[in-house]
């Protein structure tokens, strides 16, 4: 199949899946991020032509290069682990950073955003599975974390993100998606104003949506395997 038809078909399948899902927690306005890491610019250009407008990248250098080469700039989200010394490379190119997981990183985002008079939207990444190799903060520390950064002028926290382990059995990851929603609702009851839940990837976006995902991050189901 030609690449444009293939990408169109894959996107349509995800849209159909989203429409089909029924759940009391389902968000009306789900954003699908096409995770384009390692994928060529030509794929992004095809999707932009198909009116897909939000892309996710994991590596600062790759994001910056792709962004600069694109004539029509789509919306980019940064979804990977972010080193503080890479923030300056991407700050003027991203609409949302999903992976804030430490104060030092929040400080650097605040500083770089301030320099260009931007208020940078971010999500706080939570490590709910407690895997030591995973980034993200513990859910018991998130309220303190938010209090610590709430006076930062150039950063706005608009939600939470999580990435559980991969499992063939979606029911194994459902509790983590539910926990992210409940954590958001708890924080909002404490006066924070968090809307977004970035959760669900190619293998588990349906259960994530059932549990209230507002943003799903889909790579291989759109582009094929990496
Ligand atoms: C790569 C990646 C995705 C997409 O993964 P797929 O399984 O290909 O859909 C989503 N979120 C993050 C943080 C990623 O690094």
User: Average pLDDT per run of 10 along the chain, which is 226 residues long?
Assistant: 94 97 98 98 97 97 98 97 98 98 98 98 97 91 98 98 92 97 98 98 97 98 94
Atom of ligand 1 nearest to the CA of 226: 8
Q: How many CB atoms lie within 10 A of CB 214?
A: 22
Give dist(CA 66, CA 97) in Å, integer: 17
E strand or H helix at 97, and its extent? Answer: strand 94-100
pLDDT, tens digit, 9 for 90 and up, residues 190-218: 999 999 999 999 999 999 999 999 999 99
With H, G, I as helix, E, B as strand and everything else as coil, classify residue 205. helix
Going by CA atoms, what residue is nearest to atom 4 of ligand 1?
219
CA of 216 to the centre of ligand 1 (A): 9
Output the pTM of the full model.
0.97
Report the pLDDT value the prediction gives residue 165, as an integer from 0 to 100. 87
Nearest of 107, 113, 126 to residue 181 by alpha carbon: 126
Termini Cα distance of the chain: 18
Task: Note whether 118 and 102 are within 8 A (CB).
Answer: no
Residue 134: per-residue pLDDT: 86
Determine which residue's CA is closest to atom 5 belonging to ligand 1.
219
Predicted local confidence at residue 133, as pLDDT: 84
Gap between the Cα atoms of 35 and 24, Å rounded: 27
As given in the structure block, the two tokens for residue 46 are: 């095809």
Closest ligand 1 atom number to CA of residue 221: 9
Residue ranges of alpha helices (H) inside the chain are 3-20, 41-49, 60-69, 87-90, 103-115, 142-149, 174-189, 205-210, 220-223
pLDDT, position 1: 66
Q: Which residues are bridge partners to 97 per DSSP?
A: 78, 122
Q: Write out residues with Cβ below 6 Å of ligand 1.
A: 35, 37, 58, 79-80, 163, 201-203, 217-221
Rg of the Cα atoms in the chain: 17
Task: State the pLDDT at residue 2.
Answer: 93
Give me the pLDDT at residue 14, please. Answer: 98
Residue 119 in contact with residue 108, Cβ under 8 Å?
no
């Amino acid at each position: 199949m030609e690449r444009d038809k293939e990408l169109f078909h894959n996107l349509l399948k995800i849209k159909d899946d989203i429409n089909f899902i029924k759940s009391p927690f389902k968000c009306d306005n789900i954003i699908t991020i096409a995770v384009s890491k390692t994928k060529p610019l030509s794929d992004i250009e095809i999707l932009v032509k198909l009116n897909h407008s939000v892309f996710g990248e994991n590596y600062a250098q790759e994001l910056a290069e792709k962004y600069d080469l694109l004539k029509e700039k789509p919306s980019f989200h940064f979804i990977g682990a972010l080193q503080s010394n890479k923030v300056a490379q991407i700050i003027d190119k991203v609409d949302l950073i999903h992976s804030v997981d430490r104060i030092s990183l929040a400080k650097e985002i605040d500083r770089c955003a301030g320099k260009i008079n931007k208020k940078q939207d971010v999500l706080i990444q939570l490590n709910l599975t407690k895997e030591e190799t995973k980034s993200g903060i513990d859910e018991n520390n998130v309220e303190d974390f938010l209090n610590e950064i709430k006076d930062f002028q150039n950063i706005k926290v608009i939600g939470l993100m999580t990435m559980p382990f991969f499992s063939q059995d979606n029911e194994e990851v459902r509790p983590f998606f539910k926990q992210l929603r409940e954590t958001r609702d708890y924080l909002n009851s404490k006066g924070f104003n968090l809307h977004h839940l970035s959760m669900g990837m190619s293998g588990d976006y349906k259960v994530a949506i059932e549990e209230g995902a507002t943003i799903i991050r889909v790579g291989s189901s759109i582009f094929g395997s990496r």
